[in-house]
Structure 1
């Protein structure tokens, strides 16, 4: 077992949690789960596999995950972030076993590629692979940024390296679940985009930088995306992904994925932005009040 503990956030993940935890047991038995009141067998399954589980009411992803970092019961040199619907490939587990203990002290974090499986199809194109994510970092040297959407782990010190093998994101829920989840995501995405313009609150986040890490480049492009007119930007983004970046090579599953995730979802976000402007205008205080009244979300905290 390596000197690493893994933090996972869960809520009703009985379809995924066994697969996730079992993939981790190839290199660690130190698995810490912060559950948000699951009503299915998530906790039972996780504890049967040796994971430690605590309950904490959901606030948002960053607060929940940082709670996991701060209350991690394992005193390990390294921490790792996993989502319940992800799993580690055997080749990555072996790579962690081979490299972790011998990593140079100046290395503070490790980037890992994530591959997305949709309708049992690996989405290889449309700029969707490889997606490099900082998933392993030294204890005390990383935290989850407190953005409304697309939260990344940020390092306070140390250099980074890239691992050769992958984490797999393969959600087993149906398409209705997927669309409902993304409808909820869209609200957070709206807040994140509006925050770029209105700066409702300041928080430590990834520095927008085109020639930086992937999350820095993603943040840079998001800032630029936010400046494009409503309803034009999802069209441009879909064309870029499906045509320019060869998303059409992913077949029928790829068309569904790139259309839903790359156009429908982005269009829905713009429609919700339009709704905000239509309902209360573009005054900052009026927008803050709208989200507090409609969604009980305080944009200043």
Structure 2
């Protein structure tokens, strides 16, 4: 079936949100008229997130918060269209990406089961050119062939079948304040440590030392984040901190267990 350029595509946009009234309008406006359905899973917002979503014609479902992977799978299941575009509330579809998605559907059903999209990141008010670049994410998928996998953090969308890439970018407003970045860095590091502990991974001293150094070198030198100026240096340093904090939390858990087992 050929899709008219003026008609919404057989596509659901899936978004999970909590207290996103400030960022959600930009996201929803970027897909206005593109998709036949917008689904927002809200996990107990205390602001106007639900009202904002409904103003843009989204179908809102209220849920608890079970973690990123489970919540995004819930959003996938809640979609009714055969194809799903998964977005975060701080992302927007660029005009070039919207054109690429329309072109993909113009001749009928897309030939692959999933499509990677490059995410372009703005950090502390400036678009990055090296750090976190390129950042290909699988986001457009055939609903029945897709699922989210992963632990408490760093969830990943997967599909059964071949994948391709689309032109255009997801425009990501990553962090506009350093304190927000550092706060989330520690929060995600703790979740990562909890995943390691839940899987029974023991503490390894060399990982506490070498993993942060590897992160720093990869971003600062291989990605050449230094070419983004001080912002690139901050990103590399925060990545090093994330790796250190994750293994430090595992060490803390190990020490507490050791002391508990020594008690009479």
**TM-score, with structure 2 as normaliser:** 0.87
Structure 1 residues 124-203: aligned runs within 5 Å: 124-126=129-131, 128-155=132-159, 157-171=160-174, 174-194=177-197, 198=201
How many Å apart are 1:196 and its aligned residue?
A: 5.9
Range 167-176 or range 143-152, more displaced: 167-176
Does residue 276 of structure 1 match 2:245? no
Q: Is the 8 A contact 1:62 1:146 kept in 2?
A: yes
Does residue 6 of structure 1 match 2:13? yes
Distance 1:29 1:20 in 2: 16
Alignment correspondent of 1:244: 222
How many Å apart are 1:176 and its aligned residue?
A: 2.5
Distance 2:166 2:259 in 1: 45
Structure 2: stretches of 5+ with no match in the other structure = 1-7
Range 177-186 or range 135-144, more displaced: 177-186
How many Å apart are 1:194 and its aligned residue?
A: 4.1
Structure 1 residues 1-301: aligned runs within 5 Å: 1-72=8-79, 75-102=80-107, 106-126=111-131, 128-155=132-159, 157-171=160-174, 174-194=177-197, 198=201, 228-260=206-238, 262-281=239-258
SS at 1:140's partner residue? helix
Q: Is the 8 A contact 1:16 1:172 kept in 2?
A: no
How many Å apart are 1:251 and its aligned residue?
A: 0.9
**For the structure 1 residues 188 and 242, does the alpha-carbon distance in structure 2 shift closer, same or farther, using more than 3 Å as the test?**
same
Structure 1: stretches of 5+ with no match in the other structure = 200-225, 287-301
How many Å apart are 1:13 and its aligned residue?
A: 0.6
Q: CA RMSD in A?
A: 2.4
Distance 2:34 2:45 in 1: 27
Distance 1:241 1:173 in 2: 20
**TM-score, with structure 1 as normaliser:** 0.77
Deviations 1:91-121 (A, max 9, x none): 1011111112436664111111111110122
Q: Is the 8 A contact 2:10 2:36 kept in 1?
A: no
SS at 2:100's partner residue? helix
How many Å apart are 1:266 and its aligned residue?
A: 1.8
